[in-house]
Structure 1
């Protein structure tokens, strides 16, 4: 069962990477929103499109459930909270239980 623990740890790493991608997307959206950077730059537009393509499938289920707040998008915060709970409580508990049971 060490293989199962290893898979859970890889899943934790993936959830951490997704969390950092969401944070980068949020920061970039603020920078674009406050006109610090603009999407006329090819490099900025490429990064923005990549982050949008990665995060859109993650945000869409949350956006369908949450009420519309107009220009305020709270779905990244909700997704980060869900990822934090999964990563730090659910997966840590599973790994600890598997490790303590002798697997």
Structure 2
């Protein structure tokens, strides 16, 4: 009987440890202020500090599949313009892919 209780406690401890483990995220560790060429960029995502990553950043994906970490869009007009360009491109591409 004692071995069953010990096994259940051990199993509960393992489940608790797995449930509290942190999820590994692919985060930018530093950012660049170097401006990017819009024709080479295919998509983006925003990284927010405190949501699993230490710093905020705009993460752009280029045609070669490389992730490029730059300063966040807040207060950086060129980043805002690049995001706007990508959104317009995405919208245009979605409109051309609408099929009957």
Same fold per superposition (TM over 0.5): no
TM-score (norm 2): 0.30
Higher helix share: 1
Q: Which has the higher contact order (CA 8 A, sep 6+)?
A: 1
Select the structure that is richer in strand.
Answer: 2
TM-score, length-scaled by structure 1: 0.29
